[in-house]
Amino acid sequence: MLAAELRVLLWLFAALALSAGVLLYLLSGNTADTFSWTIKPSVTAAFLGGAYWAAFVLFVWSARQSLWVRARPFVLPVIVIAVLLLAAR
């Protein structure tokens, strides 16, 4: 069974990934004002925005699962992406 608390956390992560995707993909030319740090060139910001939208799909899919065994594929990609973004910072 997927715990209700984890389901809420996944929906929160989905909302954050969606908003980061909007900020980076749609506003990729203006990351100095709209994002945590400036990302140059803007195509890099757009690529990261697309990656956040892909993460949004993964989080929504995982949050909708009823069993943990079906929802756990989100764990490894989230850890890898978090470590890579920290290293790139």
Any idea how long the chain is? 89
Q: Which residues contact 4 (CB under 8 A, 6 or more apart)?
A: none
Higher pLDDT, 78 or 24: 24
Provide the 3-class DSSP secondary structure of residue 64.
Answer: coil
Q: What is the pTM of this model?
A: 0.86
Where exactly are the structural domains of the chain? 4-88
Model confidence pLDDT, tens digit, residues 30-40: 999 998 889 99
CA 7/CA 82 separation, integer angstroms: 20
pLDDT confidence bin for 81, thresholds 50/70/90:
confident
The DSSP secondary-structure symbol of 1 reads -
